[in-house]
A and B are shown apart, each in its own frame.
Chain A
Amino acid sequence: MAWISRSIIIAGLLLLAHACYSVQEHAALQSFQAASSLTAGTPKSSGSLLPTDIVVETILATVVVCLGLIFRAPDLRPIQWRVWAGRIERVCEGSRGEPGHGFTGNPFRILESRPGFVDIRKQRHEFADWAKSRELLVRD
């Protein structure tokens, strides 16, 4: 995806450079004509309006480069904690996130593996059941 936006930007910049060069040539031509008409003694009202194609090219180039830049901009992050954390949990579950993207893995990892949340009574019951079943098996 990156090369698409990059090529859009480069194309727009080329257009803009071409428009710039055209305007420069146009201005040079205008001043040359003004000078020659002065020497010829025929004063001419020089309406130094730009040709329409150069104006259109400039505006088009600007819009194209803007589109490329907008496509190239990095993704925005949701600011609400619940949206942000939910996405992180979904995206980088276990992968610890990529460094440099601001993701440091699941922010609730500590809570999820905290021993205080282990239901020790239930586990003891489960162990007792398991031990009993093994005892029965051994006796058989």
Chain B
Amino acid sequence: MSRQQEREAQIYPIVSEAVIHNTKILTNLQNVTASLFGVAAGILGLESYAGFLFYFAFATLVTFLTYVLRIAPESISAGLPLFDTSRFFRRAVDFWIGAVFSGLPGFILTWTLFYGIVRA
């Protein structure tokens, strides 16, 4: 941590409980929706790259919808610019990319399961 960042943290302290709370909510949401996407991909009978593409497209959609529905009303009324999540997450990467990969195993699980069930 550079001196500049350290100074920033001293001037604007951060509530670590709130950070943990927000990360937990986001991870929960991504995990549940990931298994849902697995169900959908299995029903559609997607294979190999198409399935992963499906997952990443929908995970991005969910992240975007979360921003629009849950974060934007509060953060824009607080005067932050568009697509700025610094009110709820320390770094932008934590929100936009961080949780996407945590849902991948759940996605593959339900994807293969439903592919097998539907086309048995």
**Which residues does A use to contact B, with CB under 8 Å?**
16, 19-20, 23-24, 27, 50, 54-55, 58-59, 61-63, 65-67, 69-71, 73-84, 102
Contact = CB atoms under 8 A, between A and B. Distances in A.
Contacts of B12: 80-82
Contacts of A67: 65, 69
Contact of A83 (B61, B87, B119): B87
Contact of A79 (B14, B25, B32, B65): B14
**Contact-residue bracket for chain B:** 35 or more
Contacts of A65: 33, 36
Contact of B118 (A24, A81, A84): A24
B116 to A, nearest CB: 11
B66 A58 contact: no
Nearest to A83: B87
Interface string B1-36: 000000000001111011101100100110011001
Nearest to A27: B119
B14 A70 contact: no
B43 A77 contact: no
B15 A71 contact: no
B108 interface: no
Contact of B44 (A24, A50, A73, A102): A50
B118 A23 contact: yes
A58 B44 CA distance: 8
B36 A80 contact: no
Interface in B52-85: 58, 61-62, 65-66, 69-71, 74, 78
B96 interface: no
A62 B71 contact: no
